[in-house]
A and B are shown apart, each in its own frame.
Chain A
């Protein structure tokens, strides 16, 4: 199963106002290709995709927040699944694209290539709706569960990706301001708050 085919199925199901937090590397490029949007927060470095999505989901409980994580990224901070389960935000949906490898730095096998089962770990953490997906059809069935509370899906994918678009990389800070101003517009509340009251000059 190719990640791109899974992401196509997911892109067809997400709403315009769904907030999507992505892993860095191939997942980011493929999602940017399929669903370019100011509602995407790209390039979460190792161990940070699910935690950032958790914080966003707790801050905006009325918005669906989708994390597009990877096996290597999640493994670095596996305990984040326990912390997700502690609060169990029903608006958080975690999709892990598990190619059983650290593909970007050369393809060395990750722990999931040696029997580590992320679905069982998520279930063991208390995330009841934790599922695997080995085919695109199975993945589509999992996507249909988007509206049914906290969700964890581990999609077993093959290595490889689409050809990267020539201008597919987004500068971190550009993405920050795109996303933050999108939240400001859609939530009608300040996010950046660049101008704070100065205790030195104002009362």
Chain B
């Protein structure tokens, strides 16, 4: 992910009131992770497994925080268990941020699988999502997603693609 896009994500998180971020490192989010870890306006929860991250974010919500979970496309599959058994069942708000690997144009063969899993599983889990392809639209998308996540008491996902990843 470009530095410019990483900065836009951090600005968007702050503007949306996000104050708790769980991250499992990913190539796409390495700069964001560093920025979030160093910024004291966020409670930073590094996790070793995306399903732990989803649970940690649920706990943070109950503690009055506005949580975001940043995970790789592949890791979204790992997080599906708590997203179904906890967030869906209890209606728990969450901002889910995923750099969308496996999108058309992604030259990594290993990412092909996620073209067939990511969006169908988001729909199956009843997680509304938007895709953001332009850096200039990142901040607004994050604010809209957080607003709807709490109003609807539901996770909302942003998939980053296009120039935001390159």
B51 is an interface residue with CB less than 8 A from chain A: yes
Per-position binary interface string of chain A over residues 39-60, scored 1 when its CB falls under 8 Å from any chain B CB and 0 otherwise: 0010011111011111111111
Q: Are A48 and B85 in contact (CB under 8 A)?
A: yes
| Segment at the interface with A among B4-12, B26-34, B58-66, B100-108 | B58-66
Per-position binary interface string of chain A over residues 178-203, scored 1 when its CB falls under 8 Å from any chain B CB and 0 otherwise: 01100110010111111111110000
Task: Kindly list chain B residues whose C-beta atoms are within 8 Å of the C-beta of A173.
Answer: 90-91
Task: Kindly list chain B residues whose C-beta atoms are within 8 Å of the C-beta of A172.
Answer: 89-90
Q: A41-B62, A82-B48, A83-B48 are in contact. Are A52 and B55 (CB under 8 A)?
A: yes
Q: Are A56 and B91 in contact (CB under 8 A)?
A: no
Measured CA separation A82–B48 after assembly (Å): 8
Task: Kindly list chain A residues whose C-beta atoms are within 8 Å of the C-beta of B64.
Answer: 59-60, 183-184, 187, 189-191
Give A24's nearest chain B residue, CB to CB. B85
A77 is an interface residue with CB less than 8 A from chain B: yes
Task: Kindly list chain B residues whose C-beta atoms are within 8 Å of the C-beta of A50.
Answer: 55
B131 is an interface residue with CB less than 8 A from chain A: no
B96 is an interface residue with CB less than 8 A from chain A: no
A176 is an interface residue with CB less than 8 A from chain B: yes
Measured CA separation A196–B93 after assembly (Å): 12
Partner of B86, one of A48, A57, A196: A48
Q: How far is the CB of B59 from chain A (nearest CB, A)?
A: 2
Q: How far is the CB of B12 from chain A (nearest CB, A)?
A: 13
Q: Are A83 and B52 in contact (CB under 8 A)?
A: yes
A79 is an interface residue with CB less than 8 A from chain B: yes
Q: A59-B64, A60-B63, A176-B92 are in contact. Are A197 and B147 (CB under 8 A)?
A: yes
B122 is an interface residue with CB less than 8 A from chain A: no
B20 is an interface residue with CB less than 8 A from chain A: yes
Q: Are A57 and B62 in contact (CB under 8 A)?
A: no
Give B53's nearest chain A residue, CB to CB. A51
| Contacts from A to B (Cβ < 8 Å) | 21, 41, 44-48, 50-60, 77, 79-80, 82-83, 86-87, 172-173, 176, 179-180, 183-184, 187, 189-199
What are 5 contact pairs spanning A and B, CB under 8 A?
A52-B59, A55-B22, A59-B64, A79-B52, A195-B151
